[in-house]
Homo-oligomer: A and B are copies of this chain.
């Protein structure tokens, strides 16, 4: 099952000064205490930043909300796991025996965490610019395929159009709670969709924002069901 990290490193174009960092990035918490959880925390942060700056520069006309949705579409557990599979990451992971038996090396969360941990290891070993180049290279195809067309529409509109196209009832939004005072209020909204058993929730500093957030959750849940 498990192949040597050096082979993966060569394939990924990575040469670590501190090869223990790379090994740690490939080590799941089920294997040992010296695992990739801390590196994943760092990798998640550098990935979010690198993609944010790339999108900022690539789409000078996009609003903050659109940039945010573009990033959420590019960087999520599923997309990261798909990239990890392309890199054959599963074959290089160090897992505990339980996870090994239950096929942990195929699991989205484990693959995506390890990929983020590799990014964290690159930042520490080679600095942020090297890491940026590696990330942009990894996402090159996805970034090149991005257009604003699908993202100009806000989630509520997207969800409504989806329901209409399937001739289903329109989503139903209900305010479930309101907390905080004056300008710091937090609205929480529930969104019920014909195709989902469970309602979805969203919060925001206005009812409209909370509804958009709930619609986004519903879109994500529908997307997951189709996958």
Residues of B within 8 A of A44 (CB): 52
Number of copies: 2
Residues of B within 8 A of A198 (CB): 177, 179
Q: Report whether A38 and B53 are in contact in the complex, using a CB–CB cutoff of 8 Å.
A: no
Residues of B within 8 A of A98 (CB): none
Q: Interface residue tally of chain A, by bracket? A: 35 or more
Residues of B within 8 A of A40 (CB): 64
B interface footprint on A63-99 (CB within 8 Å = 1, 0 otherwise)? 1100110000000000000000000000000000000
Question: 3 closest Cβ contacts across the A-B interface?
Answer: A45-B52, A37-B64, A49-B49
- Chain A residues with a Cβ under 8 A of chain B: 37-38, 40-42, 44-46, 48-49, 52-53, 56, 62-64, 67-68, 107-109, 120, 123-124, 128-129, 177, 179-180, 183-184, 188, 198-199, 201, 205, 221, 224
